[in-house]
């Protein structure tokens, strides 16, 4: 027992003399540079940034001063030095992964341990073991306490930085959509997305009551769509907890039908809704394709549609009509007349008429699309002409528009009860 006490006393005596030497500013600088050189060899994310290197030096020096002051029983410092906190904050603001900060401390721990073993080589075996025990226990406690506090510092700063970045990006997007003056280069820089190219705007949202998983589902679906189209770095922003806006950078001459095809293999949650604008280029195109996607969204919501995907190009006319429902319903009444009812026969004739008009008045193509005999199509068309009291070759455009509107909003007497 006396021998152990003697060994610990010898170790403490040596450590006291070392602390006296090592606390000198020049020695702090020398040890800091030695330790940091070894750390930087293994943490290239820090080594590549001169500002981070300088902050690492300041952090290591601050740790050393506190470590030496507490090594032999000094008053514990519970609050981390400002220089130590600054390094964690800098990493968070640069969006460098937390794992990099943790690696700095893992490497530092091993580096200090190796340095300590070399440092006490002049001691005899027994006092050396006692000195290493003191260094290890104190060093481990200091590292653990620092990491615990720094994780909180890092995550708090990262979240604040992300919120600030998201808020600034959303403010820029809103300014662009409001047609406030800004150059394409400035906008591209501020939102992290090149607006000079061709875009397709999407709106994704949840229908019905959201759950805790809803935001993640919507975001994942937006990413799946962009992956299927091989779109690199889409712009995705949160408009609310249950709605996302997205812009996909697509090649010039992009076929809008490719978007629908890309979505077909995806597992679609029936709660999700997606609308798309038409491809458009530049800053004006960025605005236009988004507004079209929003217009399609308004139509889907207003018409209470169950469609999971709606392309603005398919509903453009109906979207215009929906802005003036009174006149739209007057057009439906005028053009469809007796065919505006809710009965099965009227619905069947309207379906056949819509398909016939969509296929350019081709009876055979209409029959194939409806999977009925062409004589059945002719019979229904004859019924339609009788109900409309004019040949189908007359007022075909007006008829097409009226049929499109009813397809979304139902027949007129249904609309009257909405």
Does residue 316 register a pLDDT over 50?
yes
Does residue 255 register a pLDDT over 80?
yes
Going from the C-alpha of 102 to that of each of 11, 37, 160, 408, the distances in angstroms are 31, 17, 20, 56
Q: What's 266's DSSP letter?
A: S
Helices 344-358 & 374-388, crossing angle to 10 degrees? 110
Going from the C-alpha of 105 to that of each of 36, 56, 62, 79, 101, the distances in angstroms are 11, 11, 14, 17, 7
Residue 307 has a pLDDT of: 85
Separation between Cα atoms, residue 279 and residue 286, nearest integer Å: 9
The long-range contacts involving 229-233, CB below 8 angstroms and separated by at least 24 positions, are 229/258, 229/259, 229/262, 233/192, 233/193
Residue 76 has a pLDDT of: 58
Residue 124 has a pLDDT of: 61
pLDDT digits (tens, 9 = 90+) for 54-95: 889 888 888 888 877 777 765 556 678 888 888 888 888 887
- The stretch 205-228 carries a mean pLDDT of 83
Residue 276 has a pLDDT of: 94
Residue 1 has a pLDDT of: 44
pLDDT digits (tens, 9 = 90+) for 102-137: 998 888 888 877 877 777 766 666 677 777 777 777
pTM higher than 0.75 for the full model? no
Residue 232 has a pLDDT of: 79
Separation between Cα atoms, residue 130 and residue 143, nearest integer Å: 20
Residue 159 has a pLDDT of: 80
Residue 202 has a pLDDT of: 94
Q: What is the per-residue DSSP string for 348-399?
A: HHHHHHHHHHHTTT-HHHHHHHHTS-HHHHHHHHHHHHHHHTS-TTSSHHHH
pLDDT digits (tens, 9 = 90+) for 320-351: 888 888 888 888 888 888 888 778 888 888 88
CA 338 to chain centre: 50
Separation between Cα atoms, residue 160 and residue 164, nearest integer Å: 6
Residue 268 has a pLDDT of: 65
Question: What share of the chain in percent tops pLDDT 90?
Answer: 13
Residue 402: both structure tokens together: 């009226």
Residue 239 has a pLDDT of: 83
Helix (H) or strand (E) holding 283: helix 282-302
- Greater confidence (242 vs 204) lies with 204
pLDDT digits (tens, 9 = 90+) for 36-52: 999 999 999 999 887 78
Does residue 293 register a pLDDT over 90?
yes
How does residue 4 score in pLDDT terms, banded at 50, 70 and 90?
Answer: low
C-beta separation of 243 from 275 below 8 A: no
Separation between Cα atoms, residue 158 and residue 163, nearest integer Å: 8
How does residue 267 score in pLDDT terms, banded at 50, 70 and 90?
Answer: low
Residue 358 has a pLDDT of: 81
- What structural domains does the chain harbor? 2-161 (1.10.490), 187-318 (3.30.70.600), 324-416 (1.10.10.2840)
Separation between Cα atoms, residue 203 and residue 198, nearest integer Å: 17
Does residue 248 register a pLDDT over 90?
yes
Identify which of 16-20, 138-142, 164-168, 188-192 has the greatest average pLDDT.
188-192
Contacts of 323 (CB under 8 A, 6+ apart): none
- The stretch 380-403 carries a mean pLDDT of 83
C-beta separation of 374 from 342 below 8 A: no
Query: What is the C-alpha R_g of the chain?
Result: 35
- The stretch 381-402 carries a mean pLDDT of 83
Residue 246 has a pLDDT of: 93
Candidates 351, 235, 227; CA nearest to 293 is 235
């Amino acid at each position: 027992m006396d021998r152990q006490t003697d060994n610990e006393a010898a170790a403490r005596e040596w450590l006291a003399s070392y602390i006296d030497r090592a606390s000198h500013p020049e020695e702090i600088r020398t040890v800091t540079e030695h330790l940091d050189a070894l750390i930087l060899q293994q943490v290239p994310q820090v080594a590549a940034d001169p500002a981070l290197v300088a902050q690492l030096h300041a952090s290591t020096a601050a740790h050393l001063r506190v470590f030496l002051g507490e090594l032999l029983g000094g008053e514990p410092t519970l609050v981390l030095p400002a220089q130590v906190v600054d390094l964690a904050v800098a990493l968070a603001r640069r969006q460098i992964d937390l794992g990099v900060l943790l690696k700095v401390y893992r490497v530092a721990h091993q580096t200090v341990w190796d340095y300590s073993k070399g440092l006490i080589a002049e001691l005899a075996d027994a006092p050396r073991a006692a000195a290493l025990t003191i260094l290890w226990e104190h060093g481990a406690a200091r590292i653990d306490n620092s990491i615990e506090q720094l994780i909180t510092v890092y995550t708090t700063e990262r979240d604040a930085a992300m919120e600030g970045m998201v808020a600034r990006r959303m403010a820029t997007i809103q300014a662009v959509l409001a047609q406030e003056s800004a150059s394409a280069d400035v906008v591209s820089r501020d939102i992290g997305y090149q607006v000079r190219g061709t875009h397709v705007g999407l709106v994704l949202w949840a229908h019905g009551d959201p759950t805790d998983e809803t935001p993640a589902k919507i975001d994942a679906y937006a990413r799946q769509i962009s992956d299927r189209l091989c779109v690199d770095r889409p712009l995705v922003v949160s408009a609310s907890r249950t709605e996302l806006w997205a812009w996909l950078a697509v090649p010039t001459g992009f076929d809008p039908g490719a978007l629908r095809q890309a979505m077909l293999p995806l597992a679609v949650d029936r709660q999700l809704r997606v609308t798309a604008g038409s491809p458009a280029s530049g800053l004006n195109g960025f605005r236009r394709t988004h507004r079209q996607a929003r217009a399609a969204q308004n139509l889907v919501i207003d018409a209470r549609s169950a469609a999971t995907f709606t392309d603005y190009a398919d509903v453009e006319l109906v979207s215009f009509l929906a802005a003036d429902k009174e006149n739209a319903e007057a057009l439906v009444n005028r053009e469809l007349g007796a065919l505006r009812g809710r009965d099965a026969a009227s619905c069947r004739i309207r379906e056949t008429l819509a398909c016939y008009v969509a296929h350019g008045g081709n009876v055979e193509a209409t029959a194939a699309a409806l999977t009925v005999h062409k004589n059945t199509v002719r019979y229904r068309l004859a019924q339609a002409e009788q109900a409309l009291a004019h040949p189908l070759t007359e007022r075909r455009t007006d008829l097409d528009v009226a049929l499109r509107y009813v397809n979304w909003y139902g027949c007129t007497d249904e609309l009257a009860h909405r």
